[in-house]
């Protein structure tokens, strides 16, 4: 919602740039999509690594 409100403000201030942003936004999103997927995969991998490393300590705490 905030992005839309910022775009409306840009539309009022300078409409040619707002129209250009509206046209280019999907292409920029597609360009950044692989980086988002790598970030999600890396976060999941690091979370799995942390769970594996901390598993013995969690088991010993329950005993």
Residue 63 has pLDDT above 90, yes or no: no
**7 contacts: CB under 8 Å, gap ≥ 6:** 18, 21, 22
Quote the percentage of the chain above a pLDDT of 90.
67
Tell me the per-residue pLDDT of 1-20, one tens digit each, with 9 for 90 and over.
998 999 899 889 998 998 99
What average pLDDT does the chain have? 92
* Domain range list for the chain: 2-62
Spatial separation of the C-alpha atoms in residues 29 and 51, rounded to whole Å: 32
Spatial separation of the C-alpha atoms in residues 31 and 45, rounded to whole Å: 23
């Amino acid at each position: 919602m905030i992005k839309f409100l910022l775009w409306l403000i840009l539309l009022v201030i300078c409409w040619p740039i707002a129209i250009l942003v509206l046209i280019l936004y999907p292409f920029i999103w597609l360009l950044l999509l692989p980086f988002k997927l790598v970030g999600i995969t890396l976060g999941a991998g690091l979370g799995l690594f942390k769970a594996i490393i901390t598993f013995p300590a969690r088991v010993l705490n329950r005993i």
